Amino acid sequence: MKIGILGPEGTFSETAAVLWLKGRRGGTIEHVELNYYETIVDVAESIVRKEVDYGIVPIENSLEGSVGETLDLLSSENNEGGMRIVGEILVPIRICLLAKQPLGKFDQNASQSFARIRKVVSHPHALAQCKQFIRERLKVKGVEVKPVESTAGAAKMAMEDEEVAALASEEAAKRYKLKILAEDVQDKESVTRFVALSSSFSSSDIETSPTGKDKTSLLLYLKDRPGALYEVLGEFAQRGINLTKIESRPSKRALGDYMFHIDCEGHLEEKEIKEVLEGVKRKVAMLKVLGSYPMAR
Amino acid sequence: MKIGILGPEGTFSETAAVLWLKGRRGGTIEHVELNYYETIVDVAESIVRKEVDYGIVPIENSLEGSVGETLDLLSSENNEGGMRIVGEILVPIRICLLAKQPLGKFDQNASQSFARIRKVVSHPHALAQCKQFIRERLKVKGVEVKPVESTAGAAKMAMEDEEVAALASEEAAKRYKLKILAEDVQDKESVTRFVALSSSFSSSDIETSPTGKDKTSLLLYLKDRPGALYEVLGEFAQRGINLTKIESRPSKRALGDYMFHIDCEGHLEEKEIKEVLEGVKRKVAMLKVLGSYPMAR
């Protein structure tokens, strides 16, 4: 089985892929190959081209909000390949400060290595999430801060230059044989929700059958009249169905024209959800079911 | 009057500030000073510290969606200084390819200058919006693409190096005396909505009184129960009040816990809006009115 994720090796997407494989139904997998891509769009294209069986991409972070790029590639215009969501994975984002351990020195402790750092690199999001640590522990010492493509890419740079430290995952430390100089340096704990995507025709039925604790993701485009969203939400409220998320995204037609991404509790094959979808369909200009999948804990 | 915007000189924020001043009510202003800041948060802080009378920041783009940083600084936790929205401005985003005109050459035409470019720089958003142009016209010639802090910062770099081209505004071309090698190079037209912010106590009444065509911005935190959003939207729907925007943002407490930003038509001082707000207040855990202001056309 091939899985497409954001590369290089050691990103939080890789952590998500490993977690997803552990919890996955449908029997043991003999051989798993991870394919690394540069962007979320590249991962999606690899699914549509059937270069991979699944793609795993971030969709939402508890501090930063939705990942627009992922929501947009599920929109009907961009999703002619018919990708659907077959799973979700929650990954706690714990960021570490990593650097290479200098050669030829023994008894090198963390605080000493700390003093040698001239530059700290990471993905802009990780830099944003570690603002306080950077200001109080690095900037005061004149350390230069530089945004790069990914946290794992940052770790790679740290591997090549002893004066460069990276803000990246524990996994990246292992992967690039770096020393963890400081752990949990993010300002605030956060969790990133990833989704597993597949092209409609390649998944087995076992994988997508109801578990009793599922979520269904919908994409809809409202009719242009006051109260349109209210009426749609009524279909859920009247049946006591809980929405776990509602998010507007630009339709890209005009400013103020939106699509809505809605996640609700329940499975597509359950009677109540079927009824809701029938009701919603009558009230919107476009409804697309992106998938039903087991709720992550 | 002092206005805080994103710098350096020649950003789209500056275009927004100029447009806002033109349309502004409350009499002619003798002297306007623009103060430039590096980040949206810096602009907000300058308002709270009363370093500036107003701040103008981007809040939404018709392709990219909301600017999370701006929504978040209006949330109650971050907005203890009591900033409110006093105006909105729509700026069409037209991106040009700019470069320095080489000295000592006459009859230099655009296509020749084009050939001399080794590197193209811009803000990551502008690079994302010009993907097609970059791929078809620049990357094929081996031009290196590099993200920088701002479009205007990119123009500044182009001014200093003849082999560097910037993707930036027409205003930036004027400001940095650069030649426009290509106009409207974005993949798709887009519009950015900016808001003018002020600290609550410094605005005149004329400025915030109803015009008959206004918008009101609200921030609310729902009670945790199914149907909570539905009930709130009912207050608007029952009175036929149009929502122009609804956007969820992470509350930053836990994944799946959201605040809602809602914009509706109407003014805080109008009877109907007062009634809606009374109704909404009874149904939510927290309601904050961010301001009423004339709708931009």
Three-class DSSP labels, B225-259: CCCHHHHHHHHHHCCCCCEEEEEEEECCCCCCCEE
**Residue B217: both structure tokens together:** 């911005």
Q: pLDDT at position A107, please?
A: 46
The nearest CA of chain A is from the CA of B17 a distance in Å of 19
Tokens 């447009």 correspond to B19
Which candidate from B231, B240, B248 shows the least CB-CB separation from A246?
B248
Higher pLDDT, B235 or B147: B235
* Chain B residues contacting A via beta carbons under 8 Å: 60-65, 68, 90, 124, 147, 188, 191, 193, 226-227, 229-231, 233-234, 236-237, 240-250, 252, 254-258
Which residues, listed in sequence order, are joined to residue A145 by a DSSP beta bridge? A120
Please name which of A96, A178, A175, A93 lies closest in space to residue A133, comparing C-alpha atoms: A96
User: What's the rounded mean pLDDT across residues B103-115?
Assistant: 56
Span A256-268, pLDDT tens digits:
889 999 999 999 9
Pairing relation of β-strands B2-6 and B144-147?
A: unpaired
CB-CB neighbours of A282 under 10 Å: 11
Mean pLDDT, chain B, rounded, equals 89
- The encoded tokens of residue B107 equal 């009859």
CB atoms within 10 A of CB B170: 16
| Fold equal for B1-92+190-200 and B209-297 | no
Model confidence, pTM:
0.87
DSSP, residue by residue, B127-142: HHHTHHHIIIIIGGGT
Distance of CA B116 to the CA centre of its chain: 33
In terms of Cβ atoms closer than 10 Å to its own Cβ (0-12, 13-18, 19+), residue A64 is buried
Q: What is the overall mean pLDDT for chain A?
A: 89
Nearest to B254 among A62, A124, A229 (CB): A62
Q: Would you call B159 helix, strand, or coil by DSSP?
A: helix
Is the previous residue joined to A8 through a cis bond, with omega within 30 degrees of 0?
yes
Q: Is the pLDDT of residue B266 over 90?
A: yes
- In Å, how far are A104, A220, A274, B230, B272 from A281, measured between CA atoms? 68, 9, 11, 17, 31
Query: Domain coordinates of chain B in residue numbers?
Result: 1-92+190-200, 95-188, 209-297
Instruction: Give residue A92's identity as a one-letter amino acid code.
Output: P
User: Given a cut of 70, is residue B180 above it in pLDDT?
Assistant: yes
pLDDT at A113 over 80: no
Chain A residues in contact with chain B using a Cβ-Cβ cutoff of 8 Å: 60-65, 68, 90, 124, 147, 188, 191, 193, 226-227, 229-231, 233-234, 236-237, 240-250, 252, 254-258
Look at domain A212-292 and name its CATH class: alpha beta
Task: Determine whether the interchain pair B255/A64 forms a contact, defined as Cβ–Cβ distance below 8 Å.
Answer: no
Q: Is pLDDT larger for residue A24 or for residue A111?
A: A24
Torsion of CA A266, A271, A275, A277, to 10 degrees: 40
Confidence of residue B107 (pLDDT cuts 50, 70, 90): very low
| Stronger pLDDT, B146 or B218, i.e. the higher one | B218
Q: B111: distance to nearest CA of chain A, Å?
A: 32
Burial class of residue B122 in the structure, from the number of CB atoms within 10 Å of its CB (0-12 exposed, 13-18 middle, 19+ buried):
buried
Distance from CA of B197 to the nearest CA of A (A): 20
The rounded Cα A150 to chain-centroid distance in angstroms is: 13
> Do the Cβ atoms of B55 and B3 come closer than 8 Å?
yes
Q: Using CA coordinates, name the residue in chain A closest to B240.
A: A226
pLDDT of residue A13: 93
- Which 8-state DSSP code applies to residue A135? I
Q: Higher pLDDT residue, B86 or A253? A: B86
Contact flag B226-A237 (C-beta cutoff 8 Å)? yes
Number of Cβ within a 10 Å radius of residue A184: 13
**pLDDT tier at B191, thresholds 50, 70, 90:** very high
- Per-residue pLDDT reduced to its tens digit, A187-201: 998 999 999 999 865
- 3-class secondary structure for B10-24? CCHHHHHHHHHHHHC
Q: What is the per-residue pLDDT for B55?
A: 97
Flag whether pLDDT at A52 surpasses 60: yes
Q: What is the pLDDT confidence band of residue A106, given thresholds at 50, 70 and 90? A: very low
A98, A178 Cβ separation under 8 angstroms: yes
Q: From CA A157, how far away is CA A162, in angstroms rounded?
A: 9
- By the 8 A CB rule, do A235 and B230 touch? no
One CATH from 3.40.50.300, 3.90.1300.10, 3.30.160.270, 3.40.190.10 for B1-92+190-200? 3.40.190.10
* Cα B113 from chain centroid (whole Å): 32
The dihedrals phi and psi of A104, each to the nearest 5 degrees, come to 70, 15
Residue spans of alpha helices (H) in B86-227: 110-115, 124-129, 131-133, 151-160, 170-175, 205-208
B93 vs B66: CA distance, rounded Å: 15
Cα–Cα dist B162/A50, whole Å: 44
Q: What is the pLDDT of residue A200?
A: 65
Q: What are A203-232's pLDDT values in tens digits? A: 566 677 899 999 999 999 998 888 999 999
pLDDT tens sequence across B196-216: 999 865 555 667 789 999 999
Q: Which helix (H) or strand (E) holds A132?
A: helix A131-133
Contact B200, B84 (CB under 8 A): yes
Q: Give Cβ neighbours of residue B44 (< 8 Å, ≥ 6 apart).
A: B55, B57, B73, B78, B81, B83, B197
pLDDT digits (tens, 9 = 90+) for A118-151: 999 998 889 988 999 999 999 888 999 988 888 9
CATH superfamily to which B95-188 belongs: Periplasmic binding protein-like II (3.40.190.10)
**Lookup result for tokens 């990219």:** B64
- Give pLDDT, residue B149: 80
CA distance B102 to chain A (A): 31
Dist. CA A18–CA A30, nearest whole Å: 14
Residue A27 has pLDDT above 70, yes or no: no
Which residue, among A64, A217, A84, A55, has the nearest Cα to A129 in the 3D structure?
A64
Distance separating the N- and C-terminal Cα atoms of chain A? 25
- Most B CBs within 10 Å: which of A63, A145, A191, A230, as the mutation test of the B interface? A230
| CATH class for the domain made up of A1-93+190-200 | alpha beta
Q: How far apart are CA A107 and CA A88, in angstroms?
A: 43
ipTM of the complex, rounded to two decimals: 0.83
Q: How far is CA B275 from the centre of its chain?
A: 30
Q: Is the dihedral of CA A207, A209, A210, A214 positive or negative?
A: positive
- Decide if A229 and B243 are in contact by the 8 Å CB cutoff: yes
| Closest approach of B165 to chain A, Cα-based (Å) | 21
Nearest CA in chain A to B91: A255
Using a CB-CB distance cutoff of 8 angstroms, which residues of chain B are in contact with residue A234? 230
Q: At B228, list the tokens.
A: 């909570």
Please tell me the distance from the alpha carbon of residue B221 to that of residue B288, in angstroms, as a whole number. 9
What are the E-state strand segments in chain A? 2-6, 33-37, 54-61, 65-66, 83-93, 96-99, 119-122, 144-147, 164-168, 179-182, 190-199, 214-222, 243-250, 258-265, 284-294
Per DSSP (E only), the strands in B1-118 are 2-6, 33-37, 54-61, 65-66, 83-93, 96-99
Q: Which two tokens stand for residue A96?
A: 């570490």
Pick among 3.40.50.10330, 3.30.70.100, 3.40.190.10, 3.65.10.10: CATH of A95-183: 3.40.190.10
So what's the architecture of B209-297 in CATH? 2-Layer Sandwich (3.30)
B119 bridge partner residues: B144, B164
